[in-house]
C-alpha cells in the first residue's frame, strides 16, 4: 500500500476546516459520497418524462456497399414498435454539422463501414426497439472495401490532404550521419471503454423547442448539431450534462451523433426518445483512437544524437474526417516529444478507410507522435550498445534559459524545459542505475524470463491547437443565504473539474468549500463553450470561474469599502469572513446587506488563453500556452516461451505545476498511465477481412484489470508551479500522463532485445526489435523469435 495515502484517522484532510484554503488540498471528488451510494444519476438514471419511448440503431453489416433499400415492414409489425426513422425523415440538413460536413446523419445511398447507422427503430421499451432493429432488412450490394492503412495509401484514399512540417535539410543530414536506421512499424487504435455507454434523451418542448440530456463532453456542439439536423436555430435547443460515466475523448463528437439520432426519432414520433446504446453496438458504431503506421529513416551520431529524420505518419481516420485533421496535426506536433530535431521532415497522411470514423481520445494524436520517436530512440540506443536513458538525455531540448536546441520543428520556443532536472531526479527516485544492473545480471542468469527497464519522458503541449477554442465562460451566483452556485462551460466526466472549480471559487470568495455548489453544464447558462478536451478543462473554466468570482468579490469589496471608508483593496475575504481595516463581518451578513443595498451578487466571467497563435498555412507559431512534463520508469518481465509478461514496477515523476488538488491530479496520472498501458499491451482491436470489428465486447477487448497494475506504482509530483499565469499556477493533467506508459512499451522492447541477444543474434539484429503495438503476448513472442 502506498505511504502517501491519507491515513484513515486524518479526517481533517478531507473535510477542511473553514480556515484552510481549498486550493492545494486533496478534497474528495464533489460527487464521491453520492457515487458510492449509487445516488449520482447518469442520463439513464433520470426519471423519464411521461411518454418516453426508446430507440435502437439499425446498423450496416457490410463495410462498403450500395444501399438499395430498407424494408422495415417486419419491424413495424412487432409489438410496441412505433416508428422507423430513415434519412428521409430528417427535417434539416441530412449531413451532420461536423467540421468537414462529410458525414450523413443516417446512411443514404451507400454504406461506408460495418456498424454505420442506417435507421432507428422507436418502441415502447429498449428491448422491444432492439428486437425490432434486428428485424429491419437492409438491401445492400457490397462494394470493394479499403480496410487498412496500406489499402488506403495504395488507393490514394484520404479524408483530408497531407500535411508536411519540415526544417533544415533532412536528406543531407541523413546522408552525412555516421549511423542510420530505416524501418516501418504500426500502433493500434483503442476503444474508449467509458463504463457508461453513449446515451441521449431528447425531449420536445413547447413551440418547436428542445431539451436534450446528453452524456457529452461538448454540449455546445450537441446543441449545434441537433439544431442543424432539425433545421431550427441554436437558441431553440438546450443541452444539459450533469456528469458522464467516463469520456476520454469518446464523448466529444460521438455523443453528438447519439443526440441527433435521439432528437430525430423524437421529432418523428412527437414524444421524448431515449437512445442508449448496447455495449456491443457502441463498439461497432463509435470511433476509436486512430491506428497509425510509420515509415522512417533516422540518422544519428556515435552518442545517439539524432542528426536527421524523415518520417511518414499514416493515420487510419476511418470513413470520415471527424476530428482526424487536428488529431493528425497533434501527432505531428508531438513526434519530437522532448527532443530537438534540427533537420527533419514530418509528413502526415490522413487515410480514409471503410471502418469506424476514428476520433478524439486522451492525448489526441500526441501518443501516436510520441511513441514514434521513443521507439526510434530505443532502437538507436541498442544499435549503439548505449544506455537508452543517456541517448534520450543527449537528444533533449536545451534546458531552461538555453538559447539553442530550443525551437520545435513548428517554430515554437521551448522556454521551460525542466526535463534536464526531472529525469535525473526520477533516475534517483526509481534507483534506475542500480536496478538496471540488477536487470542485466538477471538476464545473464535466466534464459526463459527476461527483464526490461526503461525511462521515457513526456513533453505535452497544452492548449487546443485551433486557437479559437481556447476560451471559456462561467457564472458565479451568490445567494442571500451566503451560498454560492457556480456554472461553467466545462463538463464533468470524472476528472474532478467541478471539484477544482469549486475550490478556486471558494478561495476567491474566502468561503468554506461546502458553500460552493457547481451545477450541470447547460447551453442556456454558458453559451458557445468549447469541448472539455485537450486537458484544458481546469485551465479554461477555472480561470473563467475565477474571473466571475473576482467580479462579485469586487462588488462586495466596493460595498464594504464604502461602509468603512477604506480602499477596496484593503478588504480581505477569508475564512467565511470579510475583513476591512475597521471591521470583521460574516460573509453572509455582508451579502444580505449588499442585497438590501441593491448590489449585484452574481457575475459572468470570461477567459481567453494568452500568447497563443498558429498559422495553419505555414504550420508555425505558438500553438501551446505551455508544456506539461513528466517521466516514468517501468520494469517488466517477459516469458520467452509464450510471450506473456508482467509489468513489475512503475515510478513516475510528473509536473502538474502547483496542484489545486493533489489527490485528483494523482488520480489523473495513475489513471492515464494505466489507460496508456492498456493501449500498448492488451487492448487489441481486430477487424475481420470483411471489415467487421471482431473485438466488440469486453469479452474480447481487454482493458487492464486491477491485477495488471503493479503493487509498486509510485507517483511523485514535480514541486514547481507553472511559470505561466494559469489558475493557481497549476498545469493541465488530463492527457500528458497517458504517454508515460510508453515506458512500458520500451521496457518490453528492452526485454525482447535481451532474449534476442540470447539467441546468438548480435549487433543490429539483436538491437532491432520489430514489433507493432499493442504488445500482446503473441506479438512479444514473434518479436523474440523474429530472424
157-196 residues near another protein, rule: CB under 8 A = 192-196
- Residue 676's nearest CA partner among 738, 737, 629, 628 is 738
Name the residue nearer to another protein (CB basis): 90 or 674: 674
Candidate segments 233-241, 338-346, 438-446, 598-606, binder of another protein by CB under 8 A:
438-446
User: Which C-beta is closer to another protein: that of 32 or that of 466?
Assistant: 32
In the complex, minimum distance from the CB of residue 26 to another protein, in angstroms, rounded to a whole number: 7
CA angle 406, 412, 416 (to 5 degrees): 55
Is 204 among the residues that bind another protein (CB under 8 A)? Answer: no
The alpha carbon torsion through 425, 426, 431, 433 (nearest 10 deg) reads -90
Residue 587: CB minimum distance to another protein, A? 27
Shortest approach of another protein to residue 623 CB, angstroms?
28
Active site amino acids: 735
Q: Which is nearer to another protein, 120 or 549 (CB)?
A: 120
Nearer to another protein, 326 or 363 (CB): 363
Near another protein in 360-399, by CB under 8 A: none
Give the footprint of another protein on residues 703-762 (CB under 8 A). Answer: 703-713
Judged by beta carbon, residue 45 or residue 71, the one nearer another protein is 45
By CB under 8 A, what part of segment 480-499 binds another protein?
493-496
For position 543 contacting another protein by CB under 8 A, the verdict is no
DSSP states of 357-420: -----TTTTHHHHHHHHHHHHHHHHHHHT--HHHHHHHHBPP-TT-SSS-B-TTS-B-----HH
**CB-based burial, 450-474: b 16+ in 10 Å, e otherwise:** bbbbbbbbbbbbbbbbbbebbbbbb
x/- site string to another protein, residues 660 to 679, per CB under 8 A?
---xx-xx--xxxxxx----
359 scored as a contact of another protein (CB under 8 A): no
Taking CB under 8 A as the criterion, the residue among 180, 211, 702, 729 binding another protein is 702
Confirm or reject binding of residue 137 to another protein (CB under 8 A).
no
Max alpha carbon distance in the chain (Å)?
87
Q: In this chain, which of 694, 762, 764, 765 binds another protein, going by CB under 8 A?
A: 694
3-class DSSP state of 344: strand
Contact of 695 with 774, CB cutoff 8 Å: no
512 counts as binding another protein under rule CB under 8 A: no
Alpha-helical runs (H) found in 565-661:
587-596
User: How far, in Å, CA of 586 to CA of 304, rounded?
Assistant: 64
Q: Which of residues 259-298 bind another protein (CB under 8 A)?
A: 278-280
Least Cα distance to 534 among 473, 609, 606, 475 occurs for: 609
From candidates 74, 77, 127, 765, binder to another protein by CB under 8 A: 127
Q: Which one among 1, 88, 468, 617 touches another protein, defined by CB under 8 A?
A: 1
What is the CB-side half-sphere exposure of residue 195 using CA atoms within 13 A? Answer: 5
Q: If we measure between CA atoms, which residue out of 324, 314, 323, 313 comes closest to residue 409? A: 313
Cα distance between residue 304 and residue 381, in whole Å: 6
* 29 vs 622 by CB, closer to another protein: 29
CB–CB of 226/476 below 8 Å?
Answer: no
CB 491, min distance to another protein, A: 11
**Whole-angstrom Cα distance, residue 648 to residue 631?**
17
- Provide, rounded to whole angstroms, the least separation between the CB of residue 768 and another protein: 21
Enumerate residues 590-649 that contact another protein by CB under 8 A.
635, 637, 639, 641-642, 644-646, 648-649
Whether the CB-CB separation of 730 and 661 falls below 8 Å is answered with no
Tell which positions 45-74 bind another protein, by CB under 8 A.
Answer: 45
210 binds another protein (CB under 8 A): no
Q: Binding-site residue total for another protein (CB under 8 A)?
A: 105
Q: Within its chain, how far is the Cα of 575 from the centroid?
A: 36
Amino acid at each position: 500500500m502506498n505511504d502517501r495515502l491519507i491515513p484513515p484517522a486524518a479526517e481533517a484532510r478531507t473535510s477542511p476546516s473553514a480556515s484552510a484554503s481549498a486550493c492545494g488540498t486533496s478534497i474528495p471528488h464533489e460527487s464521491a459520497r453520492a457515487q458510492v451510494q449509487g445516488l449520482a444519476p447518469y442520463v439513464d438514471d433520470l426519471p423519464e418524462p411521461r411518454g418516453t419511448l426508446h430507440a435502437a440503431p439499425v446498423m450496416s453489416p457490410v463495410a462498403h456497399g450500395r444501399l438499395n433499400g430498407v424494408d422495415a415492414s417486419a419491424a413495424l409489425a412487432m409489438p410496441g414498435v412505433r416508428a422507423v426513422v430513415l434519412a428521409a425523415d430528417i427535417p434539416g440538413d441530412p449531413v451532420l454539422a461536423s467540421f468537414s460536413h462529410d458525414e450523413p446523419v443516417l446512411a443514404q445511398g451507400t454504406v461506408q463501414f460495418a456498424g454505420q447507422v442506417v435507421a432507428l427503430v422507436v418502441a415502447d421499451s429498449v428491448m422491444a426497439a432492439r428486437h425490432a432493429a434486428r428485424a429491419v432488412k437492409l438491401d445492400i450490394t457490397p462494394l470493394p472495401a479499403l480496410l487498412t492503412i496500406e489499402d488506403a495509401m495504395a488507393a490514394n484514399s484520404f479524408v483530408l490532404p497531407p500535411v508536411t512540417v519540415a526544417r533544415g535539410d533532412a536528406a543531407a543530414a541523413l546522408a552525412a550521419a555516421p549511423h542510420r536506421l530505416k524501418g516501418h512499424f504500426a500502433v493500434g487504435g483503442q476503444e474508449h471503454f467509458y463504463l457508461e455507454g453513449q446515451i441521449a434523451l431528447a425531449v420536445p418542448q413547447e413551440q418547436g423547442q428542445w431539451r436534450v440530456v446528453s452524456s457529452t463532453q461538448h454540449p455546445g456542439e450537441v446543441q449545434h448539431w441537433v439544431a442543424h439536423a432539425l433545421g431550427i436555430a441554436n437558441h431553440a435547443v438546450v443541452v444539459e450534462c450533469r456528469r458522464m460515466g467516463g469520456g476520454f475523448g469518446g464523448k466529444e463528437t460521438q455523443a453528438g451523433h447519439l443526440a441527433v439520432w435521439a432528437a430525430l426519432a423524437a421529432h418523428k414520433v412527437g414524444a421524448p426518445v431515449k437512445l442508449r446504446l448496447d455495449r456491443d453496438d457502441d463498439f461497432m458504431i463509435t470511433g476509436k483512437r486512430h491506428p497509425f503506421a510509420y515509415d522512417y529513416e533516422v540518422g544519428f551520431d556515435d552518442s545517439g544524437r539524432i542528426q536527421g529524420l524523415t518520417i511518414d505518419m499514416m493515420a487510419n481516420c476511418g470513413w470520415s474526417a471527424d476530428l482526424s485533421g487536428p488529431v493528425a496535426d497533434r501527432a505531428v506536433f508531438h513526434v519530437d516529444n522532448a527532443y530537438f530535431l534540427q533537420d527533419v521532415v514530418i509528413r502526415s497522411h490522413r487515410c480514409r478507410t471503410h471502418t469506424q470514423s476514428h476520433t478524439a481520445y486522451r492525448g489526441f494524436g500526441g501518443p501516436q507522435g510520441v511513441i514514434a520517436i521513443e521507439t526510434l530512440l530505443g532502437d538507436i540506443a541498442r544499435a549503439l550498445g548505449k544506455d537508452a536513458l543517456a541517448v534520450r538525455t543527449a537528444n533533449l531540448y536545451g534546458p531552461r534559459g538555453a538559447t539553442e536546441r530550443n525551437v520545435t520543428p513548428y517554430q515554437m520556443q521551448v522556454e521551460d524545459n525542466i526535463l534536464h532536472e526531472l529525469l535525473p531526479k526520477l533516475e534517483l527516485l526509481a534507483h534506475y542505475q542500480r536496478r538496471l544492473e540488477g536487470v542485466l545480471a538477471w538476464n545473464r542468469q535466466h534464459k526463459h524470463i527476461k527483464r526490461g527497464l526503461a525511462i521515457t519522458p513526456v513533453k505535452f503541449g497544452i492548449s487546443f491547437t485551433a486557437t479559437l477554442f481556447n476560451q471559456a465562460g462561467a457564472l458565479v451566483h451568490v445567494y442571500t443565504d451566503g451560498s454560492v452556485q457556480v456554472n461553467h462551460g466545462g463538463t464533468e466526466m470524472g476528472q474532478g473539474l467541478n471539484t477544482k472549480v469549486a475550490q478556486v471559487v471558494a478561495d476567491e470568495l474566502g468561503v468554506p468549500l461546502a458553500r460552493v455548489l457547481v451545477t450541470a453544464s447547460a447551453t442556456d447558462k454558458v453559451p458557445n463553450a468549447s469541448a472539455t478536451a485537450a486537458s484544458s478543462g481546469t485551465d479554461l473554466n477555472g480561470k473563467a470561474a475565477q474571473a466571475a468570482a473576482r467580479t462579485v468579490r469586487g462588488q462586495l469589496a466596493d460595498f464594504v469599502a464604502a461602509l468603512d471608508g477604506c480602499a477596496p483593496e484593503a478588504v480581505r475575504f477569508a475564512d467565511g469572513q470579510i475583513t476591512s481595516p475597521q471591521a470583521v463581518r460574516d460573509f453572509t451578513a455582508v451579502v444580505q446587506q449588499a442585497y438590501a443595498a441593491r448590489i449585484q451578487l452574481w457575475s459572468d466571467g470570461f477567459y481567453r488563453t494568452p500568447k497563443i497563435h498558429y498559422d495553419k498555412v505555414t504550420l508555425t507559431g505558438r500553438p501551446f500556452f505551455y508544456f506539461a512534463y513528466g517521466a516514468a520508469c517501468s520494469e517488466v518481465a517477459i516469458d520467452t516461451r509464450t510471450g506473456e509478461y508482467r509489468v513489475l514496477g512503475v515510478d513516475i515523476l510528473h509536473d502538474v505545476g502547483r496542484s489545486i488538488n493533489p489527490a485528483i491530479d494523482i488520480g489523473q496520472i495513475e489513471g492515464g498511465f494505466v489507460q496508456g498501458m492498456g493501449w500498448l499491451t492488451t487492448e487489441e482491436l481486430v477487424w475481420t477481412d470483411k471489415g467487421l470489428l471482431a473485438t466488440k465486447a469486453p469479452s474480447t477487448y481487454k482493458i487492464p484489470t486491477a491485477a495488471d497494475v503493479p503493487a509498486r506504482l509510485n507517483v511523485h509530483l514535480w514541486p514547481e508551479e507553472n511559470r505561466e499565469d494559469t489558475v493557481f499556477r497549476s498545469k493541465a493533467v488530463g492527457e500528458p500522463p497517458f504517454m508515460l506508459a510508453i515506458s512500458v512499451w520500451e521496457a518490453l522492447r528492452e526485454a525482447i532485445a535481451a532474449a534476442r541477444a540470447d539467441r546468438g543474434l548480435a549487433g543490429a539484429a539483436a538491437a532491432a526489435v520489430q514489433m507493432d503495438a499493442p504488445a500482446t503476448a503473441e506479438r512479444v513472442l514473434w518479436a523474440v523469435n523474429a530472424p
